[in-house]
Amino acid sequence: MSTQKQTNRLAKETSPYLLQHAHNPVEWYPWGEDAFAAARALNKPIFLSVGYSTCYWCHVMERQSFENEAIAAVMNEKFINIKVDREERPDVDQLYMMAVQVLTRHGGWPMSVFLLPDLRPFYGGTYFPPEDAHGRPGFPTLLRAIEDAFRNRRQDVEQSATQLVNILQQIAAPAAPSSPITVDDRFIEALVARSTSDYEPMYGGFGSAPKFPRETLLEMLLVHQQKSPNPARMKMVLHALDAMATGGIRDHLGGGFHRYSTDAKWLVPHFEIMLYDNAMLAWCYVEAHRQTGEARYARIAREIFRFILRDMTSPDGAFYTALDAEVDSQEGLNYLWTAEEVRQTLTNEPGEGMGAPFSESDANLFLKTYGLDLGPNFADPHHGTGRPDKNILYLPGGVGSDEDSELERMRGWLLEERSKRKQPLLDTKVITSWNALMIRALAYGGRILNEPRYTAAALKAAEFLLTRHRTEDGGVYRTSRDGVAKYNGFVDDYAFLAHALLVVHEATGDVKWRDRAKEIVTEMRKRFGDDARGAFYFSEAQAGDLIVRQKVASDSPLPSGNAVAVMALLELGETETARKTLAVFAEQLESNGEGMSSMVEAALLYLRKSKPFTVSGGDHAEQDRPLSPQEIAAGVVSARAEWIDPNQLVLQLQILPGFHINALETTTDLIPTTIFVDSQTEVDSIDYPPGEMQSFAFADQPIRVYSGEVTIAIRFKSAVARDAQLRVTIQYQACDESACFAPVRKPIDLNLPAG
């Protein structure tokens, strides 16, 4: 294993993620012309590894392979090796992730892609283990096979790369609608209804485990609620916000939120903390408070802001990127407690200035409030015995059960004690778009909560970006660290910044912020706009290191840059440019609106300012365009429904030959098939078949799956009326013999029972 004596080219970088790899025995290059020139000169394939600083499996692959001297020797001999921080270069990440998805039908990080010297991809995947196992090649075996193909079957590799790039170029252009689409209130209402079809009524939120906050969906629903109140949907939103505030996904001592919940109950988080999650959640809690008047939402928002200003803000006022999930290779170690640790901390003599210690009864109150009296609830999935031995703090008594002033003081003591532990890595990059989301949240929170310090923090961060993240020619830098700004910004950076400055203008009334927003939008249109066809490319036209420019409209965890661009354009009165942008993605909205909450929000905001419009099938996208992996996955399952009687509905799922979907009971790494019913009539039960056990090349053990035709019975507690509202959504993950697609949510419009 490496001893950190050697240093590679990444030592000159500023990204914490790249610096983590600076002492690997791998002769890493950063993404750039030096690496490309070396590949051309030496006629070597490129191994591209993309990850980010708080990625758990990125750390695992580093420890197992990139720190291994023998594996590194193979990499250095046979490849030019490039390491990319996806947060610095999301354009590189997006492009090659689509390539990996086309090739393998799944994706994730670390992303591992093999390129020709001219940057065309020809093979890829994600995490590769260090040794051959379970019928799958280990990383060294794969490296030798890839290099052998490059040397001895070059014509085949070239042909594969050409075909793949052709597919990527065609997928990058949004498809035209096959028939006219009218964007009006009815269209939006249908998309909103579909977007809530996987509401999970038991534990709150949307979808099944792993459960994500889905902030763009929550925001869209809150914005829709402003002018179109719907008590049932508002109940869904508030249920999700309350459930997250109660669960372990929230850091009850620090105030921030972790990335997502690994379980359906919001109890066990993936422990990394991202700036953008907390920015978007803070906005949602502020808006929930504004609409409901409930004090608990204002309190949760304030705790998020306190966390950000305390732990994730630079001395210059900019906001840091993320906190790692692990300490000493153990997930969540910093956040976990035993009951005895809590009791000792609270009852022992405290540090200077912290007051008298708490009593045993006080400690018992804390243990009961935060679930420690119920026994351990966390077992490390990678270390230990597999049995729970520590606690994630949560609120078994529900949101609001922690509002006692003494509990607040106890939380402060425990936070102080926790700060003495070894802390997770803080990624101190400053990313323009992510900072803009927090500026927006703070400016809005300052106005709604009447907290001038939040507004002041927003102004300081905005000034930082406008002075430190602007290029000499008026553009925007993507990122900086330790005073060094680098990489030209992407459409997200421009759109989010302009939108944030408009919210700052609204909070302060100072017209200069609106003027600066106009400047940013002007640059965005010049650098990213497609005047002929509409909408915005993700990367600048001058980006010479990308083989394909993409137009992106789907949300990741982050809002779509095109959607936020529409919002900023509408605020500035540029309605026609906003309309043309929406029109480009109308077909995608109609077919996949559930994954485009920010674009749905942008469309409904457009309709509040202007008239409905119709998009006809045009020539701005190739009619013979190949299907994207998401479109292929959506077509794997078809469904029809039949009423047995007014109390019972049977779904018949037809799965294409050669594919399968996971059964309800599957491994934790795969998404189970789940039925969500949105109905005025309460569901009594959903009967899933058990499925059959099968073995596949991509899995270490047999998996329970469905294939062919599958029957699922839905029983209601009472007869469903003929005039009832009823919507069924299927969530599934389609797989073939070698790999799995990303999950799909497919709504089904049902006829109501006759009679």
Domain ranges of the chain: 9-171, 181-323+427-615, 326-422, 629-749
Q: What is the mean pLDDT of residues 718-746?
A: 79
Backbone angles phi, psi at 505, to 5 degrees: -60, -45
C-alpha torsion sign, points 444, 447, 449, 454: positive
- The region of weakest confidence among 22-26, 100-104, 718-722 is 718-722
Structure tokens given for 167: 């597919």
C-alpha torsion sign, points 52, 55, 61, 67: positive
pLDDT of residue 723: 67
Asked whether the predicted pLDDT for residue 669 surpasses 70, the reply is: no
pLDDT of residue 515: 98
pLDDT of residue 753: 66
> What CA–CA distances, in Å, run from 170 to 166, 292, 555, 556?
6, 46, 20, 21
Q: How far apart are CA 258 and CA 122, in angstroms?
A: 36
Strand-pair category, 46-51 with 80-85: parallel
* Chosen CATH of 181-323+427-615 out of 2.160.20.10, 1.20.140.10, 3.30.300.130, 1.50.10.10: 1.50.10.10
What residues contact residue 331 under an 8 Å CB cut-off, 6+ apart? 56, 270, 271, 325, 380, 381, 382
Asked whether 87 and 274 are in contact (CB, 8 A), the reply is no
pLDDT of residue 11: 95
* Chosen CATH of 9-171 out of 3.40.30.10, 3.40.1390.30, 3.30.300.20, 3.30.230.10: 3.40.30.10
Asked whether the predicted pLDDT for residue 93 surpasses 90, the reply is: yes
pLDDT of residue 208: 85
CA Rg value for the chain: 26
Tell me whether the omega of the peptide bond preceding residue 210 falls within 30 degrees of 0, making it cis.
Answer: yes
Asked whether the predicted pLDDT for residue 619 surpasses 50, the reply is: no
pLDDT in tens, 262-297: 999 999 999 999 999 999 999 999 999 999 999 999
- The region of weakest confidence among 316-325, 374-383, 388-397, 408-417 is 374-383
Query: Percent of the chain having pLDDT more than 70?
Result: 95
pLDDT of residue 1: 44
Asked whether the predicted pLDDT for residue 585 surpasses 70, the reply is: yes
pLDDT in tens, 210-258: 899 999 999 999 999 999 999 999 999 999 999 999 999 999 999 999 9
b/e burial code for range 92-117 (CB count within 10 A of at least 16 → b): bbbbbbbbbbbbbbbbebbbbbbbbb
Structure tokens given for 378: 């966390």
Asked whether the predicted pLDDT for residue 621 surpasses 60, the reply is: no
Helix ranges, 196-349 (H): 215-227, 231-246, 275-292, 295-311, 339-347
Q: What is the mean pLDDT of residues 499-509?
A: 98
Query: Percent of the chain having pLDDT more than 90?
Result: 68
Q: What is the mean pLDDT of residues 456-462?
A: 98
Question: What does the mean pLDDT of the chain come to?
Answer: 91
Position 623 confidence tier, pLDDT thresholds 50, 70, 90: very low
Structure tokens given for 196: 């809530």
3-class SS letters over 8-75: CHHHHCCCHHHHHCCCCCCCEEECCHHHHHHHHHHCCCEEEEEECCCCHHHHHHHHHHHCCHHHHHHH
Asked whether the predicted pLDDT for residue 529 surpasses 70, the reply is: yes
Q: How far apart are CA 628 and CA 634, in angstroms?
A: 10
The total number of residues written for the chain in this structure: 755
Q: Give the sheet arrangement for strand 744-749, strand by strand.
A: 674-679, 726-732, 744-749
Of the candidates 286, 630, 651, the residue with the CA atom closest to the CA atom of residue 450: 286
Identity at 150, one-letter amino acid code: F
Helix ranges, 542-667 (H): 561-571, 575-584, 586-592, 597-609, 629-634
pLDDT in tens, 392-416: 999 999 999 899 999 999 999 999 9
Rounded to the nearest 5 degrees, what angle is found at the Cα of 109, between the Cα atoms of 105 and 115?
Answer: 70
Candidate ranges 37-41, 638-642, 718-722; pick with highest mean pLDDT: 37-41
- For 447, how many CA atoms within 13 A lie in the half-sphere containing its CB? 16
The architecture (CATH level 2) of 629-749 comes to Sandwich (2.60)
Asked whether the predicted pLDDT for residue 635 surpasses 70, the reply is: yes
> What CA–CA distances, in Å, run from 283 to 87, 273, 279, 447, 683?
22, 17, 6, 12, 33
Q: What is the mean pLDDT of residues 684-698?
A: 85
Asked whether the predicted pLDDT for residue 37 surpasses 60, the reply is: yes
Structure tokens given for 121: 């991809």
Measured torsion, CA atoms of residues 729, 732, 736, 737, in degrees rounded to the nearest 10: -150
Q: How far apart are CA 379 and CA 259, in angstroms?
A: 18
Structure tokens given for 325: 């999930």
pLDDT of residue 566: 98
pLDDT of residue 353: 57
Q: How far apart are CA 130 and CA 137, in angstroms?
A: 9
Asked whether 720 and 681 are in contact (CB, 8 A), the reply is yes
Q: What is the mean pLDDT of residues 690-714?
A: 85
Q: Give the sheet arrangement for strand 484-488, strand by strand.
A: 430-431, 477-481, 484-488
Q: How far apart are CA 283 and CA 257, in angstroms?
A: 13
Structure tokens given for 81: 């090796």
* pTM for the whole structure: 0.84
The residue behind tokens 């650098």 is 527
pLDDT of residue 2: 44
Q: What is the DSSP letter of 536?
A: B
Asked whether the predicted pLDDT for residue 743 surpasses 90, the reply is: no
- For 594, how many CA atoms within 13 A lie in the half-sphere containing its CB? 20
Q: How far apart are CA 665 and CA 285, in angstroms?
A: 34
Q: What is the mean pLDDT of residues 510-518?
A: 98
